[in-house]
């Protein structure tokens, strides 16, 4: 038993390191994209598409990866994924055109499947009561984005931009060898549980609850991913700060959100996933309301003179509200996957891959929609208006789901206690509603 616990701890450590390394590659365009936009004079929409390219391919690959990992060794698939990532990293210095950057971004998206593979690799090692904490610690690998925001500019300053890709390539190669030699392979008992057919793994996807979780993850992860890609340029355009300051403030947002994901998993274990998720949504809704308000000047015609009123969210308040959102999103990402394991412990590959795909699609679609909204409306805060609307839909869906579940519980109680009868004296059969 003690030996198994040691293996579980080792698996968690090396899987978390692997995920952090891959996530740093997946978000590499958060730094490179700023340089490319300046060089190629891209519009906001073109810039959004560029940022979203790695996220798109990573999102689309997550579902098939989730199915594959139900049948094949998660460790071997992780090693293969990192191996496939190496060529494009070493080719990055030779890329100059916009179309080539888009293709390279799609290739870099291979790193995005590391989350699905890692979740399936980690979950069998821990008991149900530990899942929220374990998956939260693993998910803290989102801090890989913070590594990119700190490391990529440093590499560019010290050695030149052409060395960013190769440096990341050597880093992935190092993690690959460490994971190969030190991460434990699943036990014989874990392998013996891989008996379900493809139909068994796809069957849970017919339940609307899976897609609700996907919608929640679209916000808590998709918007997090979109913001870490969008924020550097937002700080540069709105607050006229220097590039190092923009990267540092974005780094603070990413690091805080990622590092507290493990704490969110502990809260989900202790207080319940739904309670944590609902609290997260309300917190983000309040913050997004203020972030959505554009700079406004009004003239109030007074008795003796006109009064000029200027309303604007300064950089200090903006950053504070953003950090609160980041913390809440970290908690939310952990609570969604805690809820997934509570309901689908034997399908963390297929169900977890589906939810992860929907969440990552948020990271693809939202930057593009940010750019379109900004180009159409002409207001920088249009991005936060859009997020406010997405969150409102999530909260409405969760509220309706809670109401349906409450109705089902009351109906079940009434049936058990013979409160419902038809005219013939038999228990009435009312239509049950799937929550």
- What's the pLDDT at 425? 45
CA distance 318 to 250: 12
Query: pLDDT exceeding 70 applies to what percent of the chain?
Result: 92
Mind listing the pLDDT tens digit for each residue in 182-199?
988 877 666 666 666 777
How do residues 338-375 score in pLDDT, each as one tens digit? 888 788 877 777 788 888 889 888 888 888 888 888 88
Distance CA 113, CA 367 (A): 20
Q: Are 28 and 54 in contact (CB under 8 A)?
A: yes
Maximal CA-CA distance, the chain: 85
pLDDT per position as a tens digit, 6-15: 788 888 899 9
Residues pairing with 306 in the sheet: 301
Reading the block at residue 66, the tokens are 């989730």
- Domains in the chain (CATH in brackets) are 2-416 (1.20.1250.20)
Q: Using 50, 70 and 90 to split pLDDT, how confident is the model at 81? A: very high
HEC letters along the chain: CHHHHHHHHHHHHHHHHHHHHHHHHHCCHHHHHHHHHHHHCCCHHHHHHHHHHHHHHHHHHHHHHHHHCCCCCHHHHHHHHHHHHHHHHHHHHHCCCHHHHHHHHHHHHHHHHHHHHHHHHHHHHCCHHHHHHHHHHHHHHHHHHHHHHHHHHHHHHHHCHHHHHHHHHHHHHHHHHHHHHHCCCCCHHHHHCCCCCHHHHHHHHHCHHHHHHHHHHHHHHHHHHHHHHHHHHHHHHHHCCCHHHHHHHHHHHHHHHHHCHHHHHHHHHHHCHHHHHHHHHHHHHHHHHHHCCCCEEEEEECCCCEEEEEECCCHHHHHHHHHHHHHHHHHHHHHHHHHHHHHCCCCCCHHHHHHHHHHHHHHHHHHHHHHHHHHHHCCCCHHHHHHHHHHHHHHHHHHHHHHHHHHHHHHHHHHHCCCCECCCCCECCCCCCCC
pLDDT value for 424: 46
**Res. 65: pLDDT tops 60:** yes
**pLDDT digits over 220-273, tens only?**
989 998 898 788 888 988 888 888 888 889 889 988 888 888 788 888 888 888
- Asked if residue 427 has pLDDT above 50, the reply is no
Residue 196: per-residue pLDDT: 67
Q: Is the pLDDT of residue 177 over 90?
A: yes
CA distance 199 to 197: 5
Check pLDDT > 80 for residue 406: no
The arithmetic mean of pLDDT across residues 300-322, rounded, is: 82
What pLDDT, in 10s, does the model give residues 118-155?
988 888 888 777 777 888 888 778 888 888 888 888 88
Q: How confident is the model at residue 432 (pLDDT cuts 50, 70, 90)?
A: very low
pLDDT of residue 431: 45
Is the torsion defined by CA of 168, 169, 174, 175 positive or negative? Answer: positive
Share of the chain above pLDDT 90, in %: 24
Top mean-pLDDT range of 108-112, 232-236, 413-417:
108-112
pLDDT tens digit string along 14-55? 999 999 999 899 888 888 887 888 788 887 778 878 888 898
pTM given for the model: 0.76
Query: For position 46, what pLDDT does the model report?
Result: 83
């Amino acid at each position: 038993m003690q030996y198994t616990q040691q293996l579980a701890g080792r698996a968690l450590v090396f899987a978390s390191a692997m995920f952090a390394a891959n996530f740093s590659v997946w978000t590499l365009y958060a730094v490179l994209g700023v340089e490319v936009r300046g060089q190629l004079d891209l519009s906001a929409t073109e810039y959004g598409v560029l940022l979203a390219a790695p996220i798109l391919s990573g999102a689309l690959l997550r579902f098939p990866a989730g199915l594959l990992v139900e049948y094949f060794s998660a460790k071997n698939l992780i090693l293969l994924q990192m191996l496939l990532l190496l060529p494009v990293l070493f080719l990055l210095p030779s890329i100059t055109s916009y179309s080539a950057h888009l293709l390279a971004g799609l290739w870099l998206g291979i790193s995005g499947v590391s989350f699905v593979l890692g979740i399936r690799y980690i979950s069998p090692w821990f008991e149900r009561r530990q899942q929220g904490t374990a998956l939260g610690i693993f998910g803290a690998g989102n801090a890989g984005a913070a590594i990119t925001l700190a490391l990529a500019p440093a590499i560019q300053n010290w050695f030149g931009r052409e060395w960013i890709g190769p440096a990341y390539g050597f880093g992935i190669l190092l993690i690959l060898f460490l994971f190969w030699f030190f991460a434990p392979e699943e036990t014989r008992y874990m392998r013996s549980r891989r008996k379900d057919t493809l139909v068994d793994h796809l069957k849970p996807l017919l339940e609307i609850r899976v897609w609700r979780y996907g919608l929640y993850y679209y916000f808590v992860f998709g918007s997090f991913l979109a913001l870490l890609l969008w924020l550097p340029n937002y700080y540069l355009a709105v607050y006229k700060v220097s590039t190092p300051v923009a990267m540092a403030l974005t780094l603070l947002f990413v690091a805080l959100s990622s590092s507290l994901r493990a704490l969110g998993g502990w809260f989900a274990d202790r207080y319940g996933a739904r309670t944590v998720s609902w609290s997260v949504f309300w917190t983000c809704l309040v913050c997004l309301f203020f972030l959505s308000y554009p700079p406004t000047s009004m003239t109030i015609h007074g008795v003796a003179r006109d009064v000029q009123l200027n309303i604007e969210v300064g950089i200090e308040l903006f950053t504070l509200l953003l950090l609160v959102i980041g913390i809440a999103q970290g908690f939310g990402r952990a609570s969604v996957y805690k809820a997934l394991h509570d309901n689908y412990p034997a399908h963390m590959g297929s169900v977890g891959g589906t939810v992860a795909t929907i969440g990552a699609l948020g990271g693809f679609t939202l930057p593009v929609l940010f750019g379109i909204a900004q180009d159409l409306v002409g207001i920088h805060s249009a991005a936060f208006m859009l997020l406010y609307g997405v969150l409102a839909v999530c909260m409405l869906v969760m509220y309706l789901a809670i109401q349906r579940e409450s109705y089902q519980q009351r109906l079940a109680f009434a049936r058990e206690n013979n409160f419902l009868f038809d005219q013939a004296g038999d228990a009435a059969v009312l239509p049950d509603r799937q929550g």
